[in-house]
Chain A
C-alpha cells in the first residue's frame, strides 16, 4: 500500500501523472511535461511536494553540547562552530565508512538540530539515529509535517508577493521561522537555483501549496524534473550515486568533512585511512559528446572496449541539450577531460569526463 502526502488530493486535482517513489504515490509530472517543468524552474519558479522526505530533530540537554557531539559522531562534519539557523549538507556514515544517507542538518539552537532525510531511507535512518542516541538526547519525528520546495529565480519575489515574507536578507542555507513556529523556511534546495524549502504542519500544507501556485510565475513540478534538475548540478541521489558501500571520499563529498577537524565519527578509521592512502575509485561527471541519451546502468568504456564503470545516474540535460551522467571510475581513468565511451543499446557514444556541476548553480546568487 503506497503512502500519500498531505498534498495528494492537490496533485490529483492538478492532473498530475502519479507514480510510486520510495513507497509514496508522488507526482512525476504535471501538464507542462518534464522538459518544460525543468526549464520553468530554471527561468521562473517551480513548487515541488517533497513531503515524502523525513523531518526529524535531536535536542540535547540545556547547557550541554551533547547534541553537537552526537552529530559529530553520526556524520563526518563539524558542528561546534556551526551558526544557529544555518544548514549543512552532510552524510550519515556506517562503521565501514559507507554512506547510510545524505541529509540536511540545521542547527536550530545551541544544542539542538533539525534534519531532512531521504524518503527511501527514512525508516532505516530513524532506527539508526535512535540506536546511536546517548542519555539525555531527545528525538522527534515530524511525521505530521509537510515540506514544499519553491525553486527558481522568482522564488524570493513569490514569497514576498504571496506570503508577504521578505527573505532578501536570508543567506543561502539560512533558516527563517515564523513567530508561531507553524512555518519554517530554509534557503536551499535540490535544483541549483535560488530557492526555499517550506516546512508546515500537514493541516496548513494544501492552503500554502495553492497560495503559492496562484502566482503567475509558479508552476507545479514533479519528481521527474526534480531528477533532471539535480543531475545538472551533479547532486547525489541516494541509492544510485551513493550508498552503504561508497565512502564520502569516493563519492567526491570529502568537502562535507571541511578541514577534517572531526575525526571521531562512525567509520572514521576507514575514511581517514582512505584519505591517507588514497582511494581507488571516484564519482565523476560524464558528458556525452554524441547525440543520444545515456541512462543509469549504461557501461562506461575506454576506446578499446574495456569496461571501467557503469552510470549510477544518467539522463538528458535540457539546459545543455546533451546527455549527462555520473559514474564511479577507477582513479587512473577519472581525470577531467578523459575521453570515454558510453554504451547505449550497443552503440558506443563518445563522452568526456566532466567537472560537476554540469550547469552553473545559482544558489548563491543572493549575495549577502
Chain B
C-alpha cells in the first residue's frame, strides 16, 4: 500500500516520483460533510507551498485546498466536478483533486499516517 502523507491543514498527499497527488484527509471530509462543489485550478498554474490550489465546498462552508509542496498543476480531476463522492476514494486512486509536478519531492515536513493520527488527537 502506498504511503500517504498529510499536512496540518488536512491535505492528503501521495508522492509518486516528482508528482504529488493531492486530496483531503478523511478527517477533513468528515468536518466538511458532503461536497456540493469543487473548484479546480487551471492546468499549468504554479503554486507555492501553502498557496491555495483548489476549493472544496459543502453546504456548510468553503474550504481551500493548499498546495502541500511547491509545484506546477499538471492534472486536475475533472470527473470530481460531477462526482463529488470520489473525494472519499484513496488519493492515489480516484480521490485526488490535483496533481502537482514538484521540484522538491522529499516531503520531509509532511506527516506520515502515524504522525497525522497523533496530530489529530492534539487538535481535536
Contact = CB atoms under 8 A, between A and B. Distances in A.
State whether these chains interact: yes
Contacts of A35: 33-34, 36, 58-59
Contacts of B59: 34-35, 38, 224-225, 228, 315-316, 318
Nearest to A28: B60
Interface string B29-72: 00001101101000000000000000101111010000000000
Interface string A317-353: 0100001000000000000000000000101000000
A292 interface: yes
Contacts of A225: 59
Contacts of A293: 36-37, 57, 62
* Best-surrounded residue of B34, B36, B58, B81 (most CB of chain A within 10 A): B36
A350 to B, nearest CB: 15
Contacts of B57: 293, 316
A295 interface: yes
| Size bracket of the A interface | 20 to 34
Contacts, number: 43
Contacts of A33: 33-34, 58
A297 B4 CA distance: 37
B85 to A, nearest CB: 12
A29 B36 contact: no
A318 B62 CA distance: 15
Contacts of A38: 59
A29 B37 contact: no
A316 B37 contact: yes
A232 to B, nearest CB: 11
Contacts of A323: 37
Nearest to A228: B59
B60 A36 contact: no
Contact of B60 (A224, A291, A345, A347): A224
B92 to A, nearest CB: 25
Contact of B37 (A36, A291, A318): A291
Nearest to B36: A316
Nearest to A225: B59
A34 B37 contact: no
A345 B55 CA distance: 10
A225 B39 CA distance: 23
Listed from nearest, the 9 A-B pairs whose CB atoms lie closest are: A33-B33, A35-B34, A34-B59, A316-B36, A293-B57, A34-B60, A224-B60, A34-B33, A35-B59
16 contacts: A29-B33, A33-B33, A34-B33, A34-B34, A35-B33, A35-B58, A38-B59, A224-B59, A225-B59, A291-B37, A291-B81, A316-B37, A316-B58, A318-B36, A318-B59, A345-B55
